[in-house]
Structure 1
Amino acid sequence: MTGTTPAAVAQTYFDALGRGDIPAVMAQFSEDVVWHQPGDNQFSGDHEGLGGVGALLGGMMEASQGSFALTVTGPAMANGDMVVVPIRFSGSRADASMDMSGVDLLTVREGKIVAVHLFSEDAASEDAFWGRS
């Protein structure tokens, strides 16, 4: 497997997330990446470009008081330029917490993530944690 296959890019991305290496995380995205955040909360909707995704991730860390964490819970599965990865994510702050399973679907083209679609086990609980805008 080369370093630019969709599965390899996904592995590099999730490894960097696990280390908290945000520059390495951001380096996996194309300049025109689109992140599709589910739900009905302050972060829901499409976030476009490196600036939009960086602001989203920074906002999530701020809203979770730096506690937001994500771990891979199973093998990545690739189908062409798409890679799906089972995950578990959590966060807490003084007045709320969340801890649930989900799936991240990454679309990778030419060695860069061009789209991110997220799926959560409990959308209502995730919305309650992130809060409304």
Structure 2
Amino acid sequence: MAEHPNAALVRKGYEAFTRGDMDSLRGMMASDCTHHVPGSHLLSGDYKGQNSIIDLYQRLFQETDGTFNVQLSHVCVDGRGHAVSVHRYTAERNGKRLEQNGCLVFRIVGDKFTDIDECQEDMDKESEFWS
């Protein structure tokens, strides 16, 4: 059985992110897409629009001297425009190492991401890493 188109879109997004292919990622987002980063650290907040989101993604690499790495585990869909990805991510920054699970909740209209909610396994650990 073929993979659901929303799951395939999410996988394609992770592949582009891993390659650092921000142009491909931009093409997968609606122009007014928003990425929500929870917590209380330097990257927390709502990133509205393609440019703002791409800046966030580039900053993940810059702040970690290119050590930010994400490994997609699986994608679940509901067939109504939502997809949830589960991943493990690692990074090093200022002598600290972060390794934990996370997920992204995508809202998809047509073939574009319109909203991305980020969830983390341990928000305190995340905030301490980025402080």
Q: CA deviation at 1:12?
A: 1.2
Query: CA contact under 8 A between 2:33 and 2:114: conserved in structure 1?
Result: yes
Q: Name the CA shift for 1:41/1:94 in 2 (closer, same or farther; >3 Å).
A: closer
Match of residue 88 from structure 2: 88
- Extract structure 1 runs of 4+ deviating beyond 3 A: none
Query: CA contact under 8 A between 1:77 and 1:83: conserved in structure 2?
Result: yes
Match of residue 57 from structure 2: 57
Q: CA deviation at 1:31?
A: 0.7
Match of residue 16 from structure 2: 16
**Following the alignment from structure 1 to structure 2, what is the Cα–Cα distance between the partners of residues 15 and 59?**
18
Match of residue 38 from structure 1: 38
Q: Name the CA shift for 1:42/1:94 in 2 (closer, same or farther; >3 Å).
A: closer
The amino acid of 1:18's aligned partner reads T
Q: CA deviation at 1:2?
A: 8.4
Q: CA deviation at 1:37?
A: 0.4
Secondary structure of 1:26's counterpart equals helix
The amino acid of 1:100's aligned partner reads Q
The amino acid of 2:82's aligned partner reads M
The answer for unaligned runs of 5 or more in structure 1 is none
Using the size of structure 1 for normalisation, the TM-score is: 0.88
Using the size of structure 2 for normalisation, the TM-score is: 0.90
Query: CA contact under 8 A between 2:93 and 2:129: conserved in structure 1?
Result: no
The amino acid of 2:75's aligned partner reads A
The answer to whether residue 72 in structure 2 is matched with residue 76 in structure 1 is: no
User: What is the root-mean-square deviation in Å for CA atoms of aligned residues?
Assistant: 1.7
Q: CA deviation at 1:22?
A: 2.3
